[in-house]
Amino acid sequence: MKLKKIVSLILLGAVSISAFSGCGSESDLTKSLKGEKIYLNYATGMDEFGNFNNDLYSYNQMSAIGADPGAIYVPEERDAENGGYYYIYATGGLKEQFGWNGNPGLNGYDEDVDTLAVRCFRSKDLSTWTLCGSERGYSIIGRESDWEEWTMRTPWAPEVVYNEAEQKYYMFYCMASKLREEGELKIAGDWDTATDTSKYPRDHRNYIGIATSDAPNGPFTPLARTETVIIDGQEVEQKVPCINFPEAFDITVEKREDLAPMIDISPFLDEDGTLYLYMKHTIHGGIFGMKMSADDWTKPDYDTFTCLLKRGYANVNSPTGKAALTETTYSGEISEQIIEGPHMIKYNGEYFLTFSMGDYLQQDYAVYQAKGTSPLGKFARVGEGTGALVLSGVQTNNFKGTGHHSFVYDGKEYFIIYHAHQSTETFGWDRYLHADRVSFREVNGETIVVSNGPSKSLQWLPEQAGEYSNIASMAKITVSGGSGVEYLNDGLLPYYTYNENNVFEVNEDVTVTLTFDQPVSVVSLMIYNSFNENSAFSNIKLTAFELAEQPTWASKDFDYAVIENLQFPTIYYDEIEGDGNKYINCAPAVAEFNEIKVTSISFMIAKDARIKEFDKAGNVNTKLNLTEIAVIGRA
């Protein structure tokens, strides 16, 4: 399948500034500005075809297809050729040849590499993704000639971490093995797949695969151990997984409750250089973790194996080693669906274990969080019940099924990388890869992970990716009325119940002014609308930039550069019918223009600029909400 490509357009000609004053009829608000004014020609950020300036903005374009993404950022200092990019490793499409308990067959592994390979994408802006894998866009391809005998060569949920001492990239993934009913590893091509599937299903045969590469885009070489196994009474030398729980814990297939099939393998490198692996147990239904050897990242410290979370319980009391499988106790029953897709992120000495909950084929698939003070727990659910949401599209019109995920830190900002369904009404097997900012904020007295998504509108570019960044936090903001001014430049978009009231709210005409201590250069202003269309504005009556110096393009000095009637784009809502299902939550009105140096920015919104006069019950809408202001420029 070809990837849908949306062209990113650099709007150079479209954003030129007309150096004239007094054109057209001036409003009373414009006349209130003291001094000479110049009117700006500007672009609105995105056109009707989805083109936008990717030197200034990022956008979840639905162009990169994949699932279960693992992400890293490679700095230029490490790799001059491949650095300066975010990389995503994604599960290939498994539907055409493999059901979860299907009969693999192993046919067509060269003709249909999607089923046997890991896609690799990269991007400088978390918006425009390009297939970059070392072979036909893939970072690893499974072929019978060069893969281990034990595996069906169907990797999924890949994640990558960099080993600085070895200067190698390690990929961890889950892989179904060719175990027979007795639990022995068997030589390829010599087993009854129908019998195996019925008596010992694939879900019970998941192992951890490891591969390494010198470059982030591959090729990754699968690793294995050579071991003597007994096949029909004969000793046979063959390759087996590096990590083998049945062997380490002396597990036999007769003791089904002790089996340890693992999926969704997620590595975490702590600040002291220790590597940990987190994984989902497909029979137990919980999340486990363990430490890896400091000298060899292919060898686990099985004695540290610990149960961290259990589906349906708030509290877990786990021993370590094999006992974690059978002697862990649980308390505090909670209503909870499947949990999977773990990922660890550390901030300010605290460990945040995030996980996906629900069926990955459903629209309510979402990311939740737990928190602990050490990599292997104990972990407590953050918030009430199942834990505070990190990412969910349930309450939005943006994306649905926002589950399996990873985090990436680029040295300046944190982002969550996740997949989502193609439609907000039905699930799709092929999912798209997206990215949104995350930060760590205090909510109800404790620090949690908060995301600015799932977003389906223009966002400001990652700080490290461009010449300009969001400098709104440098400004002091004053308002002529309303409440919640402190939320206007806090960098957060309120998508969730725990921060839904963290907005600026006003029920009258209002003027908002951002004042900078020193002159700053500005190229774009983004004013983010309400989460709910009943409190959203349709236009900004006046925007005035107080000029600090004469622009290079101007024929003389002006006091203000002015924009009148900046519209909230109709691509974000249905202007005629007012269909609430078409409203894009927390989307911005954007003005993009040639660079000007300013000391302050003011804009005015009239109370009659509401998108909807009445709500669905016929009540008059009386308030307007602003969720964020971004000023794209440089100090």
Q: Is residue 4 part of a domain?
A: no
Residue 492 lies in a domain: yes
One-letter amino acid for residue 183 of the chain: G
Dig out the tokens for 267 from the structure: 């590595």
Q: Give dist(CA 310, CA 287) in Å, integer.
A: 6
Distance CA(472)–CA(122), nearest Å, equals 29
Please indicate, yes or no, if residue 439 is contained in any of the structural domains.
Answer: yes
- Judged by DSSP in three states, 15 sits in helix
Q: Kindly tell me if the per-residue pLDDT of 172 is higher than 50.
A: yes
Mean pLDDT score, 164-170 = 97
Instruction: Give the pLDDT score at 78.
Output: 96
d(CA 164, CA 151): 29
Same domain, 191 and 316: yes
Co-location of 472 and 562 in the same domain? yes
Q: What's the pLDDT score for residue 30?
A: 63
Instruction: State whether 71 and 179 are in the same domain.
Output: yes
Last residue of a domain, one of 392, 424, 456: 456
> Looking at the domain assignment, is residue 431 inside a domain?
yes
Contact 159, 66 (CB under 8 A): no
Whether 264 contacts 207, CB under 8 Å: no
Mean pLDDT, the chain, rounded, equals 85
Give the per-residue pLDDT at 136: 78
Give the rounded percent of residues in the chain with a pLDDT score beyond 90.
59
- Per-residue pLDDT, averaged over 183-193, amounts to 50
Domain range spanning residue 87?
60-456
Task: Using the 3D structure, point to which of 456, 487, 513 is the last residue of a domain.
Answer: 456
Q: Is the pLDDT of residue 194 over 60?
A: no
Domain shared by 510 and 557, yes or no: yes
Note whether 272 and 287 are same-domain residues: yes
Handedness of CA 376, 450, 585, 336 (dihedral sign): positive
CA–CA separation, 420 and 366 (whole Å): 10
Percentage of the chain modeled with pLDDT above 70: 81
Check whether residue 81 and residue 135 sit in a common domain. Answer: yes
Domains of the chain: total = 2
Q: Are residues 449 and 484 in the same domain?
A: no
DSSP, residue by residue, 309-336: EETTEEEEE--BTTHHHHS-EEEEE---
Helix H or strand E encompassing 489: none
User: For 174-184, what is the mean pLDDT?
Assistant: 64
Cβ contact 416:367 at 8 Å: yes
CATH code: domain of residue 511: 2.60.120.260
Beta-bridge mates of residue 117: 141
Closest CA to 429 of 31, 19, 148, 68: 68
Q: What is the pLDDT of residue 31?
A: 65
The pLDDT value recorded for residue 23 is 38
Residues 81 and 188 in one domain: yes
Q: CB neighbours (10 Å) of residue 273?
A: 10
Same domain, 27 and 82: no
Task: Write the single-letter amino acid at 484.
Answer: G
Tens of pLDDT, residue by residue over 79-116, are: 999 999 999 999 874 434 433 333 344 333 445 555 56
Structure tokens at 337: 């669906």
Query: Does some domain include residue 566?
Result: yes
**Residue 147, domain CATH:** 2.115.10.20
Residues 360 and 244 in one domain: yes
- Tokens standing for 381? 């659910």
> What per-residue confidence (pLDDT) applies to 386?
66
The Cα 153–Cα 221 span in angstroms is: 13
In order of 447, 507, 508, 515, 624, the CA distances from 481 in angstroms are 31, 9, 8, 17, 12
**Which pLDDT belongs to residue 464?**
95
* In contact, 38 and 554? CB cutoff 8 Å: yes
Residue 626 lies in a domain: yes
Q: Which of 395, 421, 456 is the last residue of a domain?
A: 456
The residue-averaged pLDDT of 125-149 equals 80
Same structural domain for residues 164 and 188? yes
pLDDT tier at 145, thresholds 50, 70, 90: low
Q: Are residues 348 and 495 in the same domain?
A: no
Distances (CA, A) of 521 to 247, 467, 472, 635: 63, 11, 12, 6
What does the block give as tokens for 28? 């009373």
The answer to whether 95 and 156 are in contact (CB under 8 A) is no
- Whole-angstrom Cα distance, residue 406 to residue 404? 7
Cβ-Cβ contacts under 8 Å for 81 (sequence gap 6 or more): none
Q: What are phi and psi of 267, to 5 degrees?
A: -85, 150
For residue 176, the model assigns a pLDDT of: 78
Domain membership flag for residue 2 = no
Structure tokens at 581: 């299902």
The one-character DSSP state at 100 is T
| Beta bridge mates, 353 | 344, 370
Q: How far apart are CA 497 and CA 254, in angstroms?
A: 47
Mean pLDDT for 447-473 is: 96
390 closest CA partner among 407, 376, 410: 407
Which pLDDT tens digit goes with each residue over 266-287?
999 999 999 999 999 998 889 9
Q: Which uninterrupted H or E stretch holds 49?
A: none
Higher pLDDT, 164 or 577: 164
Q: What is the pTM of this model?
A: 0.90
Higher pLDDT, 510 or 92: 510
Residue 7 lies in a domain: no
